[in-house]
């Protein structure tokens, strides 16, 4: 096992600290970009519109079916 001097150990710690700071800055900017929902909606506008249409269709159909159940029950009485 090689023995390192205190100066070498300090230099290694400082180098690791600088690399870690750079990695954290990079991660921070990536997270900020990914969580920017306005930018994501703008980039995927077509998919968002399709999803909204499908959701509206499913909810509308579900509400209509649910309402139809109550109308049928009241007519039977």
For 16-54, write each residue's pLDDT tens digit.
999 999 999 999 999 999 899 999 999 999 999 999 999
Give the model confidence (pLDDT) of 48-75 as tens digits. 999 999 999 988 887 877 777 777 655 5
Residue whose token pair is 């579900």: 62
User: What is the separation, in whole angstroms, between the first and last Cα of the chain?
Assistant: 91
Say whether both 76 and 52 belong to one domain.
yes
Residue whose token pair is 């900020």: 32
Say whether both 2 and 29 belong to one domain.
yes
Token readout for 2 is 């090689």
Q: What is the pLDDT of residue 54?
A: 92
Contact 33, 39 (CB under 8 A): yes
Predicted model pTM = 0.50
Domain count, the chain: 2
Helix (H) or strand (E) holding 42: helix 37-43
Say whether both 24 and 49 belong to one domain.
no
Tell me how long the chain is.
77
Say whether both 30 and 49 belong to one domain.
no
Domain containing 15: what range? Answer: 1-35
Say whether both 26 and 53 belong to one domain.
no
């Amino acid at each position: 096992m090689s023995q390192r001097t205190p100066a070498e150990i300090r230099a290694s710690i400082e180098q690791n600290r600088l690399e870690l700071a750079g990695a954290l800055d990079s991660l921070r900017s990536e997270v900020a970009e990914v969580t920017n929902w306005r930018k994501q909606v703008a980039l995927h506008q077509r998919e968002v519109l399709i999803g909204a249409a499908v959701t509206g269709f499913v909810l509308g159909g579900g509400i209509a079916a649910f309402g139809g159940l109550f109308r049928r029950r009241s007519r039977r009485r």
